[in-house]
Amino acid sequence: MKRKVISKEALKKAEVVNQYTGETWVYSDIVKDHFFHPRNLLLDEPPEDYFDADGMVGSPACGDMMTMWVKIDEGKITDLKWKTFGCGSAIASTSMFSMMVTEDGGMDIDEALKIRPQDVMKRLDGLPNRKIHCSVLADKAFRKTMNQYFRNIGQHDRVKAEGSRVVDKQLNITDRDIEEAVLEGAKDLLEVQKKLKVGVGDPESIPEIEQLIRFYTEKYYG
């Protein structure tokens, strides 16, 4: 493989340079601060009966896993702790998210549930496009934790289902698969099809696929 030539100026600015492709990633000072000094990180077991709910998403086998705990007081998130098996971007994003929902005495639950991954990225001064999917881990962990909280207090009508739905019946491809493709950088139907072959054998599913691509692109990239 031919190695890409990187200018001296780019090397000075780059935090990470891939020695094979020459691709550079530049992390903001805020990202680095939250990576090296993560807020609300909990490595030990939480105090018994202190938190009101917890949730875990991901799997170590897949490379990303997160556990989150919340303390709720009169509808506000007064404490949120987390731990993760994930990359630096996931750590920085979760650290910032935990700070956002607990600052100024705690955020109302409904307002916290409105926080989007791009809101977190804005506070971080951005992330490399290849790392945007890492910022979603905190969002998914928080929603799962809050679903558990709603079940614990008997407010089942507030639980949001996280199940996947088959979009392409020929290949058994779900809306979650399309979401992951968008998070990995696919921006239109052709790019998604390169990853998944979705819709090739089931052309009737294409309008829904395109709608999902637009939805997830707006959701994660604004």
Examine the domain organization and report whether 64 and 149 are in the same domain.
yes
d(Cα 41, Cα 54) in Å, to the nearest integer? 14
**Exactly one of 1, 61, 62, 190 is catalytic; which is it?**
62
Amino acid at 30: I
- Confidence check: pLDDT of 152 > 70: yes
Tell me what pLDDT residue 191 has.
Answer: 93
Residue 45 sits in the same domain as residue 143: yes
Residues 176 and 197 in one domain: yes
**Shared domain check, 58 and 40:** yes
**Which one has a higher pLDDT value, 2 or 136?**
136
Asked if residue 126 lies in contact with residue 28, where contact means CB atoms within 8 angstroms, the answer is yes
* pLDDT > 60? residue 18: no
AA letter at 214:
R
In tens, the pLDDT along 48-100 reads 999 999 998 875 555 578 899 999 999 999 999 999 887 888 899 999 999 99
Is 87 known to be catalytic? no
185 and 100, same structural domain? no
- The pLDDT value recorded for residue 182 is 86
The catalytically annotated residue of 57, 127, 134, 209 is: 134
Residue 134 appears among annotated catalytic residues: yes
Listed residue (177, 171, 165) closest to 199, CA to CA: 171
- For residue 15, the 8-state DSSP code is S
Domain that holds residue 100: 29-158
CB atoms inside a 10 Å sphere around CB 102: 21
In a domain, 103, yes or no: yes
* DSSP secondary structure code for residue 101 in this structure: H
Closest listed residue to residue 70, CA positions, set 97, 90, 92: 97
List pLDDT tens digits, range 157-189. Answer: 898 866 678 888 888 888 888 987 887 778 899
- Give yes or no: residues 107 and 176 share one domain: no
| Per-residue confidence band for 1, with pLDDT thresholds at 50, 70 and 90 | very low
